[in-house]
Amino acid sequence: MAKILLIAEHDGQALNPSTAKCVACAAAIAGAEIDVGVFAETAAGVAAEAATLDGVARVLTVENSANKDALAAVIAPQVVALAEGYSHIFGPSTTFGKDLMPRVAALLGVNQISDIMSVEGTHTFKRPIYAGNVVLTVEAPADQPVVATVRAASYSAVGNSNSAAIEATDCSAQLPTHSRFVELQAGSSDRPDLQTAARVVSGGRALGSAENFDIIFQLADKMGAGVGASRAAVDAGYVPNEMQVGQTGKIIAPDLYVAIGISGAIQHLTGIKDAGTIVAINKDEEAPIFEVADIGLVGDLFNVVPELTKALD
Ligand SMILES: Cc1cc2nc3c(=O)[nH]c(=O)nc-3n(C[C@H](O)[C@H](O)[C@H](O)COP(=O)(O)OP(=O)(O)OC[C@H]3O[C@@H](n4cnc5c(N)ncnc54)[C@H](O)[C@@H]3O)c2cc1C
């Protein structure tokens, strides 16, 4: 039987939606018994949320003041201590999971499987490589714990009608002193979170400046959408890095994705492979984005976008 420990992602207050998607992946493993580990300073609120996720057997809380700021170097040895006896240890393939899980794998002396997009067996998984252009089937050794990250965009969140047991645990791991939290710099916005928004509007290099990018924000606000950007727009300094969509940015799966002044490079497309409907606005009718778009609008964005925004008044 597969005994799976899934590491919850949270901000100390609320569970990140990636955790419910990881549970869906874990539940696809035959005979899975799924426990969720919550590492926090105070875990009660997050643990209560995790306990509602369908398919979860137990929520294990590890409270420690050192867990206040979710430092991978500090959490990893505690995960290893808690993971004793588990056959699989999963985390989301978000920034949090990509930081934490390789450390867990290294401490256990195993290879990590990255970005599981489908479960083929207890130790066999599919994962994308080359910006999603090739899908590999990988098999992990059956005599070692499987440490893996789950590609959240490939899974729908499980329901939340469960009431799993919550157990406080004592992790006697030696914590490193070489890493300490200094400060978190994050953009604050009232807009829907890019990674979980049902609708996303993204702008590219064609916007030309940070000031011009405002028309993307205005359209997104009318639509109640999150805002993303191509790497070219980020590199040019129009918007911060946390808004980048794509291979080296965020992998997202909104119901509706609107790409404005974005050419459709494969590295960008890999970030929106699982989007529902893709709308592209581009003045070049030969732009590769039109090959993947469900709806294409050929035109100058500086005319089209303000008109669309006005039409939504
Ligand atoms: C290892 C690696 C990783 C990468 N990771 C990412 C990633 O995560 N995300 C990402 O996005 N890119 C990534 N890139 C970069 C990627 O290859 C492209 O360079 C980038 O996506 C291009 O951004 P863009 O579409 O905004 O710009 P461009 O390719 O320059 O496209 C601009 C588009 O705007 C159109 N346009 C111009 N003016 C107007 C107008 N007035 N109205 C309407 N349309 C107009 C043009 O026709 C063109 O199609 C990566 C590259 C590498 C090598």
Q: Would the CB of 249 count as within 6 Å of ligand 1?
A: yes
Helix, strand, coil percentages, rounded to 5, for the chain: 30, 25, 45
- Please report the DSSP string for 273-293 in residue order: TT-SEEEEEES-TT-THHHH-
Calculate how far, in angstroms, residue 128's C-alpha sits from the geometric centre of ligand 1: 21
Calculate how far, in angstroms, residue 258's C-alpha sits from the geometric centre of ligand 1: 14
pLDDT at 265: 97
Alpha carbon distance 70, 281 (integer Å): 39
* Burial tier of 30 (Cβ tally within 10 Å: 0-12, 13-18, 19+): exposed
pLDDT tens sequence for the chain (313 residues): 899 999 999 999 999 999 999 999 999 999 999 999 999 999 999 999 999 999 999 999 999 999 999 899 999 999 999 999 999 999 999 889 999 999 999 999 999 999 999 999 999 999 999 878 899 999 999 999 999 999 998 999 999 999 999 999 988 889 999 998 998 877 667 888 898 899 999 999 999 999 999 999 999 999 999 999 999 999 999 999 999 999 999 999 999 999 999 999 999 999 999 899 999 999 999 999 999 999 999 999 999 999 999 999 8
Calculate how far, in angstroms, residue 149's C-alpha sits from the geometric centre of ligand 1: 28
pLDDT at 52: 98
Calculate how far, in angstroms, residue 266's C-alpha sits from the geometric centre of ligand 1: 9
Calculate how far, in angstroms, residue 199's C-alpha sits from the geometric centre of ligand 1: 20
Alpha carbon distance 52, 59 (integer Å): 10
pLDDT at 222: 96
pLDDT at 193: 87
Atom of ligand 1 nearest to the CA of 232: 23
Question: For the whole model, what pTM was predicted?
Answer: 0.84
CA torsion through residues 42, 45, 48, 50, sign = negative
Interacting residues of 88 by C-beta distance below 8 A, sequence separation 6+: 2, 3, 4, 5, 26, 29, 32, 145, 146, 147, 148
Question: Which residue's CA is the closest to the ligand 1 atom numbered 18?
Answer: 265
For residues 145 and 52, the answer to whether their CB atoms sit within 8 Å is no
Question: Which residue's CA is the closest to the ligand 1 atom numbered 30?
Answer: 205
pLDDT at 171: 82
Atom of ligand 1 nearest to the CA of 208: 38
pLDDT at 95: 87
Alpha carbon distance 53, 203 (integer Å): 35
Domains and CATH numbers, the chain: 2-168 (3.40.50.620), 199-311 (3.40.50.1220)
